[in-house]
Amino acid sequence: MNYGYIRVSSDKQTVKNQRFEIENYCKRNGMVINIWIEETISGITKVENRELGKLLKKMKKGDILICSELSRLGRNLLMIMGVLNECMNRDIQVWTIKDNYRLGSDISSKVLAFAFGLSAEIERNLISQRTKEALARKKAEGVILGRPKGSKSARTKLTGQEKRIQELLDKKVSYSAIGRILGVHRLTVSSFVNKN
């Protein structure tokens, strides 16, 4: 069976790009994804606590796991290597679209997997280091970083819902019930009403 695996780190990101890449690849190569696994979770989270962990448990010899790139499997070298090692030991192939890797259980796949995982981790560390250095430089130049102390964003989860909230309040609906309707905590509703 062919499994398509997609992971994004936050709900602000979309799975559409990864899915599009995998679908296009499969069309070009006459393949079909039998099962899609999509999850919104940090790559730092242990594999066994992710949908990927559940998927790996049910995959069988000869199955193919297709993802957009190796970094979707984990955040660091050890995690990626752990996933690849389990797959290789069980004759499960891991294919990546962007990198165009076909990793199986042969020795060259193991060497490649190690090298790619290592380079991906080095790149992430370099990006992190460059960001920290840029922020330190800005701070040294006197630039105030972040939101000013004590200030709050003018936009909240309920911005734009004023009319609906007022209609519910006019009907004597409680803050708790309004919160359930709008998917927020009752204290968020209370705070929003008091400010507006």
pTM of the model: 0.57
The widest CA-to-CA distance across the chain, in whole angstroms, is 70
pLDDT at 32: 95
Write out 103-154 in H/E/C secondary structure.
ECCCHHHHHHHHHHHHHHHHHHHHHHHHHHHHHHHHHHCCCCCCCCCCCCCC
Q: What is the pLDDT of residues 153-181, one digit of tens each?
A: 667 788 888 888 898 999 999 998 998 88
pLDDT at 95: 93
Q: What is the pLDDT of residues 106-142, one digit of tens each?
A: 777 777 767 766 777 787 788 888 889 989 899 899 9
Structural domains of the chain ordered from first start: 2-122 (3.40.50.1390), 162-195 (no CATH)
Q: Is the pLDDT of residue 185 over 80?
A: yes
